[in-house]
Amino acid sequence: MKKWKISLLAIIVISSCQPQTKTPRPEFALAIHGGAGSIKPGQFSPVEEKEFADKLEEALKVGYKILENGGTSLECVEKVVNVLEDSPLFNAGKGAVFTNAGTNELDAAIMDGKTLNAGTVAGIKRVKNPITLARLVMMESPHVMMIGDGAEKFGEMNRVEFVDPEYFYTERRWESLQKILEREKLSLLDNDNDYDNDNDYKFGTVGCVALDKDGNLAAATSTGGMTNKRWGRVGDVPIIGAGTYADNNTCAISATGHGEYFIRNVVAYQISSLIEHARLSLEAAADSVVMRKLVKQNGSGGVIAIDKFGNISMPFNSEGMFRGSFKAGEEPVVAMFAN
Ligand code: ASP
C-alpha cells in the first residue's frame, strides 16, 4: 500500500476513535434517570405517565437552575436526587422497595469529577435523603464508604434529617414484596431473568450526572436496591466504579439495573476507562458496555452518561428507562420508553 494511503487510513481510524464533540460544548448540562426495567407503552395510565414525566421535568429544572446560577455540578446532582428521593414514584428515599424482612435499606453514592473524591452509604434505614448523607461522608469524613448503624451515627453527628422507618412505607412497594413472596412460596421464581423482567423486583433507582460552567463533572445515584433482597445485600449503586463514577478527564456516569452485573463488570469505571485508554467517544464507550457486554451476560439495565464536552448518552438494554436531559439554552427532554 502506498505511503499516503496508509496515512489516510491512520487518520480515518484515529478520528473515529477520538472523543467526539459533535455539537459545540454547552455552557452546562445535566441528565437524570429514574430507573430502568420492563417499562413499556400501555403499562401506565396516561395520568401515571404524566406524573412520572412531571417529576422528572421538575428535577431537571431544579438542576438547571443551580447550574445556570453558577452552582457546582456536585450541588446540582445532590439536589436533583433529593427531589427524586422525596417522591414516592421512584425506588429511592420515600419510595424505596422492601427487603425480604419487610424493612427498607437504602444505598447512595456521590462523586466529584474534579477531585475524584467520593462518598457512599449502604444499608441506611432512617435517613430521609441518603444522597445527602453520602455527600457528608465525602466532605466531612476521611472515608469513602459507611454502612448501617455507623453511617447513621455519623449522620446524627452531622445533623442530617432523620425519619421514622415507617416514612418509607408505600402501599405499592409493599404489594410488590407480597406478590414476590407469594410466588417464591409457589417456587415460581428461580432465576435472574425473573429479576430483570419483573417490575415487582426493582423499578426506579434514581441518578443524576452534570457538567457545570467551570467544566466540572459530578455523578450521584440513590436506591432502595431490589425488592426481597436479603442478608444485607448491597447493590452496585454505592460501589464507586460500578453504579457511580465521575472524572473530569472523561465522564460522569450513574447506572440503574441488575446491580450484581454492574458490580461484576465495573460498569461506570469501565465506560470511563474506554474513553481514557481506548479513546472511544462517550456514546461508543457506553454502548459497548451496556448494549454489548452486559447484554451478552443478560445483565439488564442502563446508564446516564455525560462527558467533559457536554455530550450526553443514555443507553439501556431493558425495555425502558425513565430518563431526561437538559442542556443550557435548550428545552428539557424526558422519556420512558425505547426511542
Ligand atoms: N441497581 C440497583 C441495585 O441493584 C437497582 C436498580 O437500579 O433498579 O441495587
Residue of 99, 205, 221, 244 marked active site: 205
Residue 7 lies in a domain: no
207: nearest Cα among 198, 195, 218, 216 = 218
Residue 10 lies in a domain: no
Torsion, Cα 328 330 336 339, to 10 degrees, reads -110
**C-alpha of residue 236 to centroid of ligand 1, in Å:** 7
Which atom of ligand 1 is found nearest the CA of 224?
Answer: 9
Mean pLDDT of 62-67: 98
Predicted pLDDT at 14: 45
Atom 9 in ligand 1: residue holding the nearest Cα: 225
Predicted pLDDT at 142: 98
Which residue from 39, 236, 314, 316 has its CB within 8 A of the most atoms of ligand 1, so it is best to mutate?
236
pLDDT band at 188 (very low <50, low <70, confident <90, very high): low
39 versus 143: which is more confidently predicted? 143
Tell me: pLDDT of 59 over 50: yes
* Least trusted range by pLDDT, from 1-5, 19-23, 118-122, 293-297: 1-5
User: Do residues 317 and 298 make contact, with C-beta atoms less than 8 angstroms apart?
Assistant: no
14 grid coordinates? 484515529
Tell me: pLDDT of 22 over 90: no
Q: How many structural domains comprise the chain?
A: 1
Mean pLDDT of 306-310: 97
Distances (CA, A) of 111 to 47, 61, 133, 294: 35, 21, 13, 23
204 versus 150: which is more confidently predicted? 150
Q: How many residues in total does the chain contain?
A: 339
pLDDT band at 36 (very low <50, low <70, confident <90, very high): very high
- Write phi, then psi, for 171 (nearest 5 degrees): -60, -40
Tell me: pLDDT of 183 over 60: yes
Predicted pLDDT at 203: 64
- Cα separation, 156 vs 299, whole angstroms: 37
Computed over every residue of the chain, the mean pLDDT equals 91
Residue 9 lies in a domain: no
Predicted pLDDT at 10: 45
Residue 210 lies in a domain: yes
Predicted pLDDT at 15: 41
Tell me: pLDDT of 191 over 60: no
Predicted pLDDT at 316: 97
Amino acid at 137: V
Contacts of 36 (CB under 8 A, 6+ apart): 256, 257, 300, 301, 302, 316, 318, 320, 321, 322
**Owning domain of residue 30:** 25-337
Tell me: pLDDT of 320 over 50: yes
- Cα separation, 299 vs 306, whole angstroms: 22
Q: Which CATH number fits the domain that encloses residue 122?
A: 3.60.20.30
Residue 107 lies in a domain: yes
* Least trusted range by pLDDT, from 8-22, 26-40, 46-60, 67-81: 8-22
User: Do residues 77 and 210 make contact, with C-beta atoms less than 8 angstroms apart?
Assistant: yes
**C-alpha of residue 223 to centroid of ligand 1, in Å:** 7
- Cα separation, 109 vs 22, whole angstroms: 30
Torsion, Cα 210 86 117 18, to 10 degrees, reads -30
**pLDDT tens-digit map of 203-231:** 689 999 999 999 999 999 999 999 999 99
183 versus 171: which is more confidently predicted? 171
Mean pLDDT of 16-32: 75
Residue 12 lies in a domain: no
Residue 71 class from Cβ within 10 Å (0-12 exposed, 13-18 middle, 19+ buried)?
Answer: middle
**pLDDT tens-digit map of 159-174:** 999 999 999 999 999 9
- Cα separation, 130 vs 152, whole angstroms: 10
What pTM was estimated for this model as a whole? 0.92
Q: Specify the 3-state DSSP secondary structure of 245.
A: strand
- Cα separation, 112 vs 152, whole angstroms: 22
**pLDDT tens-digit map of 135-149:** 999 999 999 999 999
* Least trusted range by pLDDT, from 4-8, 69-73, 109-113: 4-8
Residue 17 lies in a domain: no
User: Do residues 119 and 154 make contact, with C-beta atoms less than 8 angstroms apart?
Assistant: no
Contacts of 50 (CB under 8 A, 6+ apart): none
**C-alpha of residue 205 to centroid of ligand 1, in Å:** 6
Tell me: pLDDT of 190 over 80: no
Which residue from 200, 205, 233 has its CB within 8 A of the most atoms of ligand 1, so it is best to mutate?
205
119: nearest Cα among 132, 143, 138 = 138
Please indicate whether residue 205 is annotated as part of the active site. Answer: yes
pLDDT band at 23 (very low <50, low <70, confident <90, very high): confident
**C-alpha of residue 226 to centroid of ligand 1, in Å:** 6
pLDDT band at 186 (very low <50, low <70, confident <90, very high): confident
Which atom of ligand 1 is found nearest the CA of 204?
Answer: 8
**pLDDT tens-digit map of 235-293:** 999 999 999 999 999 999 999 999 999 999 999 999 999 999 999 999 999 999 999 99
Q: Enumerate residues lining ligand 1, CB below 6 A.
A: 35, 202, 205, 223, 225-226, 235-237, 243, 256-257, 259
DSSP lists the bridge partners of residue 89 as none
**C-alpha of residue 202 to centroid of ligand 1, in Å:** 7
Predicted pLDDT at 6: 45
Residue 8 lies in a domain: no
